[in-house]
Structure 1
Amino acid sequence: MMMPQSHQNTRPLEVARHYVSHTVATRQFRIFVVLLALVLITRTISSLDLVHLHQTPAVPRTPSPDAGVAHVLGINHYSSEEKQWKQVQNTEEANSNSQPRSNFALITWNVDFVSAEPQDRISAAMSYLRSMLISGTEDPDTISPAVIVLQEVNHEMIKSLAENEWVQKNFYITDVVSDRGIWQKSHYGTVTLVDRRIKVKNVIRLHYDSNMDRDCLFVDIEAISSRTSEVVTVRVGNTHLESLVGARPWRLDQLKLAARFVLYDTNVYTGLIAGDMNPIDPYDLKIPDEAGLKDAYLVGGGSEDNVRGHTWGYQTENNPFPKRRFDKIFHPPGDKIKVEQVEPIGIGEKTPEKPKVYISDHYGVFGNVRIL
């Protein structure tokens, strides 16, 4: 086809400029440019580390109302004469005839507040622990007394614990009713059981800055140093650190706060913090060191990558998340305390009656504590 005479004398560059100018002026081209820009912006954002973005929120958050508040509580003992639980400030008021010891068993277990059959599951947990603790001995009084720290205990479980004959006969317990304290605003919480052969001096519930009403429940117990024969106070913390990926490093702040109550209280000889640490981010592996604590499992020669130490991910149906060692025991550095035989317990344990369900989605963890 012949080009019109007017264009035959026009230079090619001028024609190109005229075409581009006309195209840019069209509505369709402007829409195309806007869409292309949006695509490029979206791809750029998706390539960023969103975790780091979330850890530096633009708007300051108001702390929890109870953040950093520590409430002094009582301890409950069961009166066989009155057939009821009675609260006292310490076990001396309960006419305790206990003698301080230099060692005790420590058990931590997240008992899963959300799964079905909560009362059957907590009853099965107590039956399992009873069998484990008295295994291999004909006289239960010859075994080391135990401190049991439980997380995710719900309202139904508290009722079941309070009615459990083994618990009534052998333990002091921090909580036996669910209509006061943290239970008024939370579906679940921390509960600690202390063998009645151990003297309890104080109970303290330390509230975290938390979106999930998390805390650290301390019991101060009387023990004796195996090295000096001095009667000392050992503080045992029961904690459930914040779950999920948050807008900030919640768990580090929470553990640092709890660690102060173990490391810097001059009335405390040494102590422990045990529970569900929810280590789901890489930084979680560093928080014990940053809080000034040691991980008893690692101190004893365990490895973070060894599946034998895992405590979560195997008893959850269709679990898409990595299996991990969620449940841990921390203690101060130094030569005042040693935790031995740290290992998972309760693996594969289910309720005895149908429908048979796992006691928890977590395994428990056992440790033998020695006060040096």
Structure 2
Amino acid sequence: MLNTLLEKQLTYEPEPQPYFSFRNGYWSSVKPDVSFPRLAAGEGAPSKALRVITWNIDFMASHPRARMASALSHLEELVSQIPESCAVVVHLQEIMETSGSDEQQANDLNQIMNAPWVRECFNLTDVDTSRLVAPYGQITLIDRRLAISNVSRMWFVSEYQRDALLVDIRLDTPQPRYLRLCNVHLDSSYGSMRPVQWSALAKHLQNADEGISASILAGDCNANQARDKTAPQEHGFKDAYLELGGIEGDDVGATWGFQSGVGASRWGHQRLDKEIFWGGVHVDRLERIGVGVQVGDERFRKALESEGEVAFVTDHYGLMGHFNLEDAMRTAKHGDT
């Protein structure tokens, strides 16, 4: 059956979509130029340094607005400390948007879109949930200085309606070459479809024929089975944590189970979240973020505790990878794209 599902998966192609830029007081849709994106006046110096942040914000926990507000505050602090010479991309998973106005109704996209630091520094892959099949999904925040060549979603053969969100960044090379970024949330639980999903990721993140010369995947890989420990390497990727000397199974590398309440008794501490890469890119450092970060508003923190929930922003630690590319990324000054 897996062979049949793999054949089906490999027929799926990424579906292009616009991205969104905050201009003149509005989030405006932008259609990427796949062939050779033109930058506006004020082109900046090409950059090889990139920080990739990934964080899963649990969509099932209560008081989602208070939790997202605290998550955004933590991310803003992290981003403010990154040198201006380094580009930044943020991958978020389990983003949810509901129509109600109650505090218990998630308002993630609107909170992200209304954050001043996001408006000033980032473009967004999504401003609504129209491209999601599941009630939650991924959004990528892309440094406004980077030249975006393509944005697309590739659907997985999945028990959970999951997909991969792809962003191609134009590299500063004579012929069109790209860094492909992938924000992913692989199937949960025992994940019988994850091997099929890894095959699809290898196909589309290692495609030199499409001009992809480097790729970075960062997200929730739900790696809780023995086969998941080696899946990236078996599909031609390098695992940032292991490349930097990390040891599989160590608590030092785990990203889930410390802030997970009673759920941790089932799975223990797990390295569910990963940053992996392929091609002309190298990793210098990988660190966990979101460690111990709680809901900042005391009212909601106490409410969570009274309801028997942990007061952490989310059940996952996030990751921040420090990468250097062999070919620099084309950049423009802030506000010029």
- Name which of 313, 319, 323 aligns with 1:365: 319
Letter of the 1:368 counterpart = H
**CA 205–355 in structure 1, closer or farther in 2 if over 3 Å, else same:** same
Secondary structure at the counterpart of residue 153 of structure 2: strand
Question: Pairwise mapping of residues 1-372 of structure 1 onto structure 2 (< 5 A)?
Answer: 68-79=12-23, 81=24, 83-90=25-32, 95=40, 97-99=42-44, 100-135=46-81, 142-155=84-97, 156-178=107-129, 180-182=130-132, 185-224=133-172, 232-246=177-191, 248=192, 250-266=193-209, 267-318=211-262, 319-320=264-265, 321-332=267-278, 336-353=280-297, 354-356=299-301, 357-372=311-326
CA distances 1:70-118 after superposition (whole Å, capped 9, x unpaired): 2001110011x2x211111128578474533111110011111111222
Tell me if structure 1 keeps the 8 A contact 2:89–2:141. Answer: yes
How far 1:363 moved relative to its partner?
0.5
Q: What whole-Å deviation, never above 9, does each CA across 1:310-359 have from its counterpart, x for those lacking one?
A: 10011111231211111101112x5x210121121110001211212311
Q: Please, which moves more after superposition, 201-210 or 85-94?
A: 85-94
Q: CA RMSD in A?
A: 2.6
How many Å separate the matches in 2 of 1:120 and 1:95?
37
Conserved in 2, the CA contact under 8 Å of 1:67 and 1:208? no
What is the CA-CA distance between 1:123 and the residue it aligns to?
A: 2.4
- Paired residue secondary structure (2:76): helix
| C-alpha distance in structure 2 between counterparts of 1:330 and 1:215, whole Å | 17
TM-score for the superposition, normalised by structure 2:
0.82
The residue number in structure 2 matching 1:16 is: none
Contact 1:224 1:371 in 2 (8 A): no
Is the 2:285–2:323 contact (alpha carbons within 8 Å) kept by the matching residues of 1? no
Secondary structure (helix, strand or coil) at the match of 2:312 reads coil
- Report the structure, 1 or 2, having the larger strand content: 2
Q: Which has the larger radius of gyration?
A: 1
Aligned partners of 1:235 and 1:270 also within 8 Å? yes
Q: Deviations over 1:33-89 (max 9, x none)?
A: xxxxxxxxxxxxxxxxxxxxxxx79xx88998997242001110011x2x2111111
Stretches of structure 1 that go unaligned for 5 or more consecutive residues are: 1-55
Identity %: 28
Q: Secondary structure at the match of 2:269?
A: coil
Asked if the contact 1:310–1:326 (Cα under 8 Å) also holds between the matched residues in 2, the reply is yes
The residue type paired with residue 348 of structure 1 is: G
Secondary structure of the structure 2 residue equivalent to 1:146: strand
State how many pairs are aligned.
299
Q: Which has the higher helix share?
A: 1
In structure 2, how many angstroms separate the alpha carbons of the residues matched to 1:143 and 1:103?
A: 7
Q: Deviations over 1:276-329 (max 9, x none)?
A: 111111111121122111101101111112211110011111231211111101
Q: Residues 62, 341 of structure 1: CA spacing in aligned structure 2 closer, same or farther, 3 A cutoff?
A: closer
The CA deviation string for residues 247-285 of structure 1, in whole angstroms up to 9 with x for no partner, is x3x111101101211112421111111111111111111
- Once the two structures are TM-superposed, the CA of residue 142 in structure 1 deviates from its matched residue by 2.6
Change (3 A) 1:307 1:96: farther
Which whole-Å CA distance do the structure 2 matches of 1:93 and 1:367 have between them? 28
TM-score (norm 1): 0.74
Name the CA shift for 1:143/1:347 in 2 (closer, same or farther; >3 Å): farther
Q: Residues 328 and 365 of structure 1 are in contact (CA less than 8 Å); yes or no, is this contact kept in structure 2?
A: yes
